[in-house]
Amino acid sequence: MIAAVAFWLGLLVVGHLAGRLYGSYTMGRSHGDDHRSRGTYRLLSLVGLTAVVGLTLAGLVDATETALSSIHPALAGRLAAPLAWVPTAIGTIVAVLVTYLGVFPYARERRGLEISAATAVGRLAKYLVAMAVLCLGTIAPLIVLFRLSDPSPFLIPILFAALLVWVYVWSQYSVQLSQKLVEPTADQRRRLEAAADRADLTAPLAGVVPGEETETADLYLGGSFRNRRLYATDHAFDALDDGELTALCTRANAADDLRLLERRALVVSLLFGVVLTLTVWRSMLVALLALAIVWPLLSWHLQRCEFAADRRAAQSVGADDLASAYEATADLADDRGRLHERLASRPSTARRLERLRDT
């Protein structure tokens, strides 16, 4: 336990310093532009991965499981195993947030944002907690299956069904779990409802995401297929005119018709299910090999669905309005590499605009 604490404290210091150094580097390289840097996300991902691996190897998970088992007999065995990962998840989240605190002042100055560090860290913390809940709920079946002396293959369909339900429920409420929501103003509700009527979108406006400080203008769908809800960032009402709002509502309607939320949940649960199944009944090496084959194929399928929704929306409102809306909603300086673009479930904005111009 002492080794885990020492490693974690050292990681906090190193992560914060790395964040400040990277922020200073991006300030010198930006030359006054306000493009987002994906290197920040890569740095945070590296710190998070280092924290998970380091705390696990330092024995935090085993020590937590032993402590839980000693508290009450009901916590011993299979129940204590998933709960033992909670301190590791908390330590990882704190390490990522401390690193982000080092980067954020430079990013705020570089992009000219008017958002406090507490607000930015709070939003990131809410998103990370939501992702941790998803991951812990997903790896719990793996831990339980590993603890079985001889798991039956008949558990495979049950495992896939449980993963599908868990991921689908999370995807329905991911906006509420990971974002701060406020009530829309009367003008915001009026504009979006008018745009939704023009687009024949039946999903009502359920809340507004404060995105003006981060210059994010977008619409999001949530909820089950029988009870869809629409969420908008407040910056969308400033950055988009009525025609562009209608185009995004039409795009959301096309995504709903193609059941993109359900497809995404199915793909995520399938990926997790393949890894868990092959790890338990075969080996980790076989699982990683299968993941290397299945992931690009499923990502390609999701990207095709995204392009299909774009085509449907462009046929309804015109490619120009939809392209204009995309130019205002996302970062056009997307520096994805070829591998990143191939493995991403959503195509980059640059590729979407290219397809729309071809259309």
Nearest to 51 by CA among 2, 95, 81: 95
What is the domain extent for residue 209?
Answer: 186-358
| pLDDT reading at 203 higher than 70 | yes
- What pLDDT score was predicted for residue 9? 93
| pLDDT reading at 186 higher than 90 | yes
Q: What is the pLDDT of residues 171-181, one digit of tens each?
A: 888 888 878 88
Whole-number percent of the chain with pLDDT over 70: 89
As a whole number, the mean pLDDT across the chain is 85
Asked if residue 201 and residue 94 are part of one domain, the reply reads no
Higher per-residue confidence, 50 vs 333: 50
Q: Which residues have C-beta within 8 Å of that of residue 341, sequence separation ≥ 6?
A: 347, 348, 351
- What's the rounded mean pLDDT across residues 126-131? 88
Place of tokens 């890569």: 42
Asked if residue 209 and residue 86 are part of one domain, the reply reads no
CA atoms 330, 335, 341, 345: torsion sign: negative
- What pLDDT score was predicted for residue 263? 93
Asked if residue 228 and residue 326 are part of one domain, the reply reads yes
Q: Which of 114, 140, 171 is the last residue of a domain?
A: 114
Asked if residue 347 and residue 246 are part of one domain, the reply reads yes
Burial class (CB in 10 A: 0-12, 13-18, 19+), 158: exposed
- What pLDDT score was predicted for residue 75? 65
Asked if residue 200 and residue 110 are part of one domain, the reply reads no
pTM above 0.85, yes or no: no
Asked if residue 335 and residue 241 are part of one domain, the reply reads yes
Q: In what order do the strands lie in the sheet with 219-222?
A: 205-209, 229-233, 219-222
159 falls within a domain: no
- What pLDDT score was predicted for residue 32? 47
142 falls within a domain: no
Asked if residue 203 and residue 105 are part of one domain, the reply reads no
Asked if residue 335 and residue 235 are part of one domain, the reply reads yes
- What pLDDT score was predicted for residue 29? 66
Q: CA-CA distance, 332 to 315, in Å (whole number)?
A: 23
pLDDT band at residue 104 under the 50/70/90 scheme: confident
Nearest to 343 by CA among 306, 299, 304: 299
9 falls within a domain: yes
- What pLDDT score was predicted for residue 312? 94
Asked if residue 293 and residue 193 are part of one domain, the reply reads yes
Q: Do the strands 229-233 and 205-209 form a parallel or antiparallel pair, or are they unpaired?
A: parallel
Q: Do the strands 229-233 and 219-222 form a parallel or antiparallel pair, or are they unpaired?
A: antiparallel
Number of domains in the chain: 2
154 falls within a domain: no
Higher per-residue confidence, 324 vs 31: 324
149 falls within a domain: no
Spatial contact of 23 and 108, defined as CB atoms under 8 Å apart: no
Q: Give me the helices (H) in the chain, please.
A: 2-30, 38-57, 60-71, 80-83, 86-111, 117-147, 155-172, 174-178, 186-199, 234-239, 242-257, 260-281, 284-317, 319-329, 338-343, 349-358
Highest-scoring range by mean pLDDT, 83-92, 185-194, 210-219 = 185-194
| pLDDT reading at 106 higher than 50 | yes
Q: Which residues have C-beta within 8 Å of that of residue 333, sequence separation ≥ 6?
A: 33, 35, 36
Angle between the N-to-C axes of helices 186-199 and 242-257, in degrees from 0 to 180, rounded to the nearest 10 = 60
Higher per-residue confidence, 82 vs 79: 82
Nearest to 90 by CA among 143, 138, 129: 129
| pLDDT reading at 288 higher than 70 | yes
- What's the rounded mean pLDDT across residues 72-100? 82
Residue type, 356: L
- What pLDDT score was predicted for residue 26? 78
- What's the rounded mean pLDDT across residues 21-25? 86
User: What secondary structure does DSSP assign to 41-87, as a single string?
Assistant: HHHHHHHHHHHHHHHHHTTHHHHHHHHHHHH-GGGTTTTHHHHTTHH
Q: Which of 68, 98, 114 is the last residue of a domain?
A: 114
Q: CA-CA distance, 215 to 199, in Å (whole number)?
A: 24
pLDDT band at residue 34 under the 50/70/90 scheme: very low
The number of residues in the chain equals 359
137 falls within a domain: no
- What pLDDT score was predicted for residue 24? 85
Distance of CA 283 to the CA centre of its chain: 28
- What pLDDT score was predicted for residue 15? 93
- What's the rounded mean pLDDT across residues 207-230? 82
| pLDDT reading at 233 higher than 70 | yes
Asked if residue 65 and residue 213 are part of one domain, the reply reads no
82 falls within a domain: yes
Weakest mean pLDDT among 11-15, 131-135, 184-188:
131-135
- What's the rounded mean pLDDT across residues 51-67? 87
Asked if residue 323 and residue 234 are part of one domain, the reply reads yes
Place of tokens 């397809």: 355
Spatial contact of 269 and 312, defined as CB atoms under 8 Å apart: no
Q: Which of 61, 83, 114 is the last residue of a domain?
A: 114
Whole-number percent of the chain with pLDDT over 90: 36
317 falls within a domain: yes
Asked if residue 97 and residue 196 are part of one domain, the reply reads no
Give the per-residue SS3 of 256-315: HHCCHHHHHHHHHHHHHHHHHHHHHHCCHHHHHHHHHHHHHHHHHHHHHHHHHHHHHHHH
- What's the rounded mean pLDDT across residues 40-47? 88
Tokens representing 349?
């904005």
